[in-house]
Amino acid sequence: MRRWVPFRRATIRQDAVAGLVLGVQSVPDGLATGLLAGVNPLAGLYAYMVGTITGAVVTSSAFMAIQGTGAMAMIVADVPAVHAAIDPAGALFTLSMLTGVVMLAAGLFRLGSVLRFVSNAVMVGFINAVGVNIILGQLANFTGYAAEGPNRVVRAVNTILHPGQLQATVAVGAATIALIILLERTRVGPMGLVVAVILTSAAVAVFGWDGVATLNDLGVVLSSLPRPEAPMLLLIPSLLIPAVSLAFVGLVQGASISATYPNPDGTSPDASRDFVGQGVANVAAGVFQGMPVGGSVSASAVNKEAGARSRQSLVYAGVVMAIVIVAFGGVVGYVAMPALAGLLMLIGYRTIKPADLVSVWRTGSVQKAVLVVTFVLTMVIPLQYAVLVGVGLSVILYVVQQSNQVTVRRQQYDTDGHLVETDPPTLLPANEVVVLQPYGSLFFAAAPVFQALLPAPAETSRHSVVILRLRGRSELGSTVMDILHRYASSLAEVDCRLVIVSTNERIARQLTISGISDVIGPDGIYRGDERVGATLQRAEADAAAWIAAQQGKRDGTID
- Residue 410 — φ and ψ, nearest 5°? -90, 130
Q: How far apart are CA 463 and CA 551, in angstroms?
A: 8
Q: Are 159 and 143 in contact (CB under 8 A)?
A: yes
226-229 long-range contacts (CB < 8 A, ≥24 apart) are 226/42, 226/46, 226/50, 226/288, 226/289, 226/290, 227/288, 227/289, 228/287, 228/288, 229/89, 229/90, 229/93, 229/286, 229/287, 229/288, 229/289
pLDDT of residue 155: 84
The pLDDT tens digits for 252-311 are 888 878 777 888 877 888 888 889 999 999 999 999 999 999 999 888 988 888 888 888
Using the 8-state DSSP alphabet, how is residue 266 labeled? Answer: S
pLDDT of residue 5: 45
- Residue 427 — φ and ψ, nearest 5°? -110, 140
In single-letter form, the type of residue at position 442 comes to: L
Q: How far apart are CA 490 and CA 217, in angstroms?
A: 80
Q: Are 358 and 216 in contact (CB under 8 A)?
A: no
Q: Which residues of the chain have a pLDDT value below 70?
A: 1-8, 85, 112-117, 164-166, 402-403, 555-559
Q: Which residues contact 465 (CB under 8 A, 6 or more apart)?
A: 432, 433, 434, 496, 497, 498, 499, 543, 546, 547
* Of residues 41, 55, 20, the one with CA closest to residue 321: 20
Q: How far apart are CA 490 and CA 200, in angstroms?
A: 81
pLDDT of residue 468: 95
**Bridge-based pairing state of the strands 407-413 and 433-439:** antiparallel
- HEC-encoded secondary structure of 341-352: HHHHHHHHHHHC
Using the 8-state DSSP alphabet, how is residue 444 labeled? Answer: G
* Of residues 362, 439, 360, the one with CA closest to residue 407: 439
Q: How far apart are CA 30 and CA 51, in angstroms?
A: 11
Q: Are 173 and 188 in contact (CB under 8 A)?
A: no
Residue ranges per domain, the chain?
A: 9-118+171-353, 407-555
Q: Helix or strand or coil: residue 449?
A: helix
* Of residues 46, 34, 42, the one with CA closest to residue 332: 42
CATH architecture assignment, domain 407-555:
2-Layer Sandwich (3.30)
| Residues 234-247: b if buried by 16+ CB within 10 A, e if exposed | ebeebbeebbbbbb
The pLDDT tens digits for 183-199 are 989 988 878 888 999 99
| Residues 305-344: b if buried by 16+ CB within 10 A, e if exposed | ebbbbbbbbbbbbbbbbbebbeeebeebbebbbbbbbbbb
* Of residues 438, 421, 548, the one with CA closest to residue 501: 438
Q: Helix or strand or coil: residue 436?
A: strand
pLDDT of residue 191: 84
Q: How far apart are CA 180 and CA 197, in angstroms?
A: 8
Largest Cα span, the chain = 113
pLDDT of residue 93: 96
Q: How far apart are CA 39 and CA 31, in angstroms?
A: 10
pLDDT of residue 2: 46
Q: Are 332 and 216 in contact (CB under 8 A)?
A: no
